[in-house]
Amino acid sequence: MEKSKQSWDVIVVGGGCAGLSAAVYLARAMRKVLVIDSGQSLALWEPEVQNYFGFPDGISGEELIERGKKHAKKYEAQIVEDEIADARRDGIEFLLEGKKDVYRSKRVLLATGVLHIPPDIPHVNECLGHSMFFCKDCDGFRSQEKQIAIVGRNNDAVEYALGMLFYSSCVFIATNGKKPHWDQQHSDWIAEYEIPVYESRIADVEQENGLIKSLAFEDKRCVEVDALFTTRGDIFHNKLGKALGADLDSDGQIIVDHCMKTSVPGLYAAGCVTPANCQMIIAAGGGAIAAQAINRDLFEQSLIDHALRRFRWKQIAVEQTEPVELPAK
């Protein structure tokens, strides 16, 4: 592949909540910033975001991302559609190999997010974001007094079911054909709160326009349901972090410090690919923190390299710096 001649101050991989927020900050700090995005933000799955500060009437995830792009472009951040397949160091720069092009930059921010694994239930994906959810902080509130199924079989699933009691008294756990895998303490809580547990495999979902009506089990039983939450797990998009040698935790999240720095100098990460609570506003905040740290890092580097001189010379050429005598009145 042709080597890109252009080099950016910062490349942000991922144009979701974290990446676009970082791009706004970096572009407003006068940095040459490129956002490379493959268009799969989880935010696009949410028809009505109810918990993003400043939108009391809600906003769709799609609209929020569109506004984020418009906002970043307003300050001259560039955004391209591509998927970065590999990354490595090339001297003092990072070299990112995309499917369409090769890109170079001084600093990289990975804002590549996560994939929540949907439950292994036929036809359930049509209900995604409408009545099938991954996050009680996002969607518990809208499930008040509904009949709620928690699909899972471990301690997390039990804690989810218990946490959902704040929203509804009608909560049960479906292990979807698997043996329960929770410990004695969680088993005791199930008994104490009388949470029903169905172990049969879920054969099908009856739904209309994305709204779940009932679950049909393989043992021929059927139960009415309005909302289904799943705790099946996450796949963190950490491939580029790994390729560049960043430390990961045992779940595969990229480890960052309070400034979103990874263990690799010049490499930052923000949003759901890090150990942040996976929420839009938290991802956006993480992106802003990373952007500020990157800007500071580049500033310090420019002092080491005496690179600010070229800005100053340009300014001196157009600016009257010597004091002049005021004309006599």
Ligand X SMILES: Cc1cc2nc3c(=O)[nH]c(=O)nc-3n(C[C@H](O)[C@H](O)[C@H](O)COP(=O)(O)OP(=O)(O)OC[C@H]3O[C@@H](n4cnc5c(N)ncnc54)[C@H](O)[C@@H]3O)c2cc1C
Q: Tell me the residue number closest to ligand X, measured at CB.
A: 16
Nearer to ligand X, 108 or 174 (CB): 108
Report the nearest approach of ligand X to the CB of residue 294 (Å).
Answer: 16
Q: What letter represents residue 54's amino acid?
A: G
**Which residue's CB is nearer to ligand X, number 46 or number 198?**
46
Residue type, 127: C
Minimum CB distance to ligand X smaller for 13 or for 202: 13
Largest CA distance in the chain: 100
Q: What is the closest distance, in whole angstroms, from the C-beta atom of residue 67 to ligand X in the complex?
A: 13
Q: Please report how close the Cβ of residue 182 comes to ligand X at its closest, in angstroms.
A: 24
Closest to ligand X by CB, 136 vs 186, is 136
Nearest approach, Cβ of 278 to ligand X (angstroms)?
A: 4
Give the nearer residue to ligand X in terms of CB position, either 14 or 266.
Answer: 14
In contact, 80 and 34? CB cutoff 8 Å: yes
User: Do residues 4 and 94 touch, judged by C-beta distance below 8 A?
Assistant: no
Question: Looking at beta carbons only, is 15 or 266 nearer to ligand X?
Answer: 15
If the CB atoms of residues 113 and 152 are measured against ligand X, the closer one turns out to be 113
CB of 16 to ligand X, least distance (A): 2
Main-chain phi, psi angles of 32, to 5 degrees: -80, 105
> In angstroms, rounded to a whole number, what is the distance separating the alpha carbons of residues 6 and 105?
8
Closest CB 43 distance from ligand X, rounded Å: 4
Choice between 93 and 139, CB closer to ligand X: 139
Rg (CA), the chain: 25
Exposure string of 239-260, with b = 16+ CB inside 10 Å and e = fewer, is ebbeebebebeeebbbebeeeb
Three-state DSSP class for residue 186: helix
Q: Mention every residue, 6+ apart, whose C-beta is less than 8 A from residue 239.
A: 112
Across 2-130, the runs of DSSP E, i.e. the strands, are 7-13, 33-37, 78-81, 84-90, 93-98, 102-110, 114-116
For the CB of residue 225, give the shortest distance to ligand X in the complex, in Å.
17
- Check: CB of residue 148 under 8 Å from CB of residue 225: yes
First-to-last C-alpha distance (Å) of the chain: 68
Query: Residue 283 is encoded by which pair of tokens?
Result: 């991802």
Complex with ligand X: residue 81 or 188, whichever CB lies closer: 81
Q: What would the two tokens of residue 20 be?
A: 């676009």
Residues that bind ligand X (CB under 6 A): 13-19, 36-43, 45-46, 49, 51, 83-84, 111-113, 116, 128-129, 134-135, 138, 237, 240, 271-272, 278-281, 283
Instruction: Tell me phi and psi for residue 63, to 5 degrees.
Output: -65, -40
To the nearest whole angstrom, how small is the minimum distance from the Cβ of residue 47 to ligand X?
A: 9
- CB 207 to ligand X: min, Å: 15
Which residues contact residue 247 at a Cβ distance below 8 angstroms, ignoring those fewer than 6 apart? 254, 255, 262, 263
